Structure 1
Amino acid sequence: MLPPIPDAGAPPLVSPWLDVTQPLVDLFADAISDHQFIHVDPVRAASEGPFGGTIAHGFLVLSLLSKFAASVMQLPGEGEVGINYGFDKVRFLAPVPVGRRIRGRFTVAERTPRSGGTLVRFDAAVELEGIDRPAVSAEWLVLIFKEKNQ
């Protein structure tokens, strides 16, 4: 069983690594109808693109925060409902090449009582293996409510 969302100031929670594969990138491209060659055409991306090969969509990398968070904490916890409230800040700091590994790092920056629940602000990052700076940095907001029958 995973731990609940930690308190503000607790040590960061770090997810396992995830391989960024071309099929994953292609599936995301199909889902959002963004088939730019730097994402879906390895041959053309290698010869014409600025990154030496295909890269993951920034929004794919950002969306994986949910997967990474679910691997390290109960989000929401038992008897709770969580909704994505948005982001106060998102930065795409480094491209994520296909074939590399990424993981999520989460620190609770703040927990604020709200009507019927709690607003949790995470300092979140997606780390790219072997690179010092994160690929994505974000201030992620999640609203946690108790289930009505609780």
Structure 2
Amino acid sequence: MAETIAPAALKDRIGEELGVSDWVTVDQAMIDTFAEATGDHQFIHVDPERAKLTPFGGTIAHGFLTLSLLPRLAAAADMPRPEGLKMGVNYGGNKVRFLVPVPSGSRVRGRFKLLELEEKRPGQWQQTQLFTVEIEGQDKPALIAEWISQFFV
């Protein structure tokens, strides 16, 4: 169970890595489901035979699938949670970079570093985190993003 922390005390953790998630497998079924949900059926994602002929050597996850794992990976990370949390919402991103593809069958995990935290109005906090998606066995991350969210206590 993750620790809970007063939002004002969380400000003392700016610049720190707050948590690392468990590993999650990105398999072909997940990629195919994402393709159905988004209508993005480019062959490098959904056609293993044609994808073998590309420099990737097989199918790869959509970049936006990798980004969309943020909530799942955050939930699987042992990060401190704000005391009295009522809800959280995405606000946007300052920067998103897809650095290397995620091959089908890979395991990924998220790292979360707190960059900024500000109380916008009483009980409404805005945080910016550096979100990094690592691929098991690879040195270079799949994705880095400065992601902004708000939470309400």
SS of residue in 2 equivalent to 1:2: coil
2:61 pairs with 1:26: no
Cα distance in 2 between the residues matched to 1:91 and 1:12 = 21
Q: CA deviation at 1:74?
A: 6.1
Cα distance in 1 between the residues matched to 2:87 and 2:35 = 29
TM-score after normalising by structure 1: 0.89
Gaps of 5+ in 1: none
Cα distance in 1 between the residues matched to 2:43 and 2:92 = 29
2:135 pairs with 1:128: yes
Q: CA deviation at 1:145?
A: 1.4
Superposition CA RMSD, Å: 1.7
2:70 pairs with 1:53: no
TM-score after normalising by structure 2: 0.87
Letter in 1 for 2:149: V
Cα distance in 2 between the residues matched to 1:51 and 1:3 = 41
SS of residue in 1 equivalent to 2:35: helix
Letter in 2 for 1:67: R
Gaps of 5+ in 2: none
Cα distance in 1 between the residues matched to 2:88 and 2:20 = 20
CA contact (8 A) 1:75 1:82 kept: no
SS of residue in 2 equivalent to 1:68: helix
CA contact (8 A) 1:69 1:75 kept: no
**In the alignment, what sits opposite 2:69?**
64
**In the alignment, what sits opposite 2:85?**
79
Q: CA deviation at 1:77?
A: 5.3
Cα distance in 1 between the residues matched to 2:104 and 2:125 = 37
Letter in 1 for 2:26: V
Q: CA deviation at 1:113?
A: 1.4
Question: Residues 92, 78 of structure 1: CA spacing in aligned structure 2 closer, same or farther, 3 A cutoff?
Answer: same
Question: Residues 43, 2 of structure 1: CA spacing in aligned structure 2 closer, same or farther, 3 A cutoff?
Answer: same
Q: CA deviation at 1:50?
A: 2.4
CA contact (8 A) 1:76 1:82 kept: no
Percent of pairs with identical residues = 50
**In the alignment, what sits opposite 1:11?**
17
